[in-house]
Amino acid sequence: MRHEEYMKNIIEDFLNNNKHDTDSFPDMDLYMDQVSNFMNKKLEIYKRNEKDKVLTKTMINNYVKHNLLPRTKNKKYNKDHLIILTLIYYLKNTFQMGEIEMLMKPIIDNYNSEFDDKIDLELLYKSIVDVQKDNENEMAKSAIDDIQHLKKSLSDGGLYDDDMIELFTIIVNLTIKADFEKYLAQKLLNEYFIKSKKQK
């Protein structure tokens, strides 16, 4: 029973502290140390423990080396850089660096181009965030509903009133759901970025 309350609390904490909004990005340009500090604060909800670092200077340099970030001016990073760093953080949990590079290349090429008609990264990010906010509320409700469903299923199978078994099934269920969405993302990347690149 305690883990149900714990799950409700961490879901509520996540929904209240997951700072997606573009308003949470500073409008002023930042040096690398400031970028690292800002990103670690912004994405701290994802840390497994206090000492974890979401982003380091070494990681930023690695992203630059892999052409994952637009060119900087006077070694300063603007809001667009912070948006891209946030997107990379989410992508790296599903994709390898080479795959992220392939996925981000059209966006970065467009950003670095001399054309006037460029992708507005803030609007792009906002559209992703708007959908994600709706999804998070649905996923939060679904996670609580799943517990009741799993408890009934365990009870029907004669495995009721066993916290260890209940926790095991909840964790496995959440993992399978996460793997399904990861599977879809990987299939889309493979079909429309990797395969199409090979065909060219």
Give the model confidence (pLDDT) of 40-96 as tens digits.
Answer: 999 999 888 888 999 999 999 999 999 999 888 899 999 999 999 999 999 999 999
CB count within 10 Å of CB 159 equals: 13
pLDDT over 80 at 25, yes or no: yes
Q: Which of 83-97, 101-115, 132-146, 165-179 has the largest mean confidence? A: 83-97
pLDDT over 80 at 116, yes or no: no
Domains of the chain: total = 1
pLDDT over 60 at 1, yes or no: no
Looking at residue 138, its pLDDT comes to 85
Q: Are 59 and 100 in contact (CB under 8 A)?
A: no
Reported confidence tier of residue 200, pLDDT bands at 50, 70, 90: low
Looking at residue 28, its pLDDT comes to 93
CA dihedral over 157, 163, 165, 171, signed as positive or negative: positive
pLDDT over 70 at 161, yes or no: no
Q: What is the DSSP string of 28-75?
A: S-B-HHHHHHHHHHHTGGG-SSTT--S--HHHHHHHHHTT-SPPPBTT
Residues of the chain above pLDDT 90, percent: 50
Q: Which residue has the higher pLDDT, 5 or 60?
A: 60
What's the mean pLDDT in 30-39? 95
CB count within 10 Å of CB 48 equals: 6
- Full domain range(s) for residue 107: 2-199
Question: How many residues make up the chain in this entry?
Answer: 200
pLDDT over 70 at 126, yes or no: yes
State both tokens at 35: 């970028």
CA pair distance 110, 2, nearest whole angstrom: 50
Q: Are 70 and 80 in contact (CB under 8 A)?
A: yes
Residue 28 burial (CB < 10 Å; 0-12/13-18/19+)? exposed
pLDDT over 70 at 150, yes or no: yes
What's the mean pLDDT in 13-27? 83
Q: Which residue has the higher pLDDT, 137 or 73?
A: 73
What's the mean pLDDT in 145-166? 81
pTM given for the model: 0.88
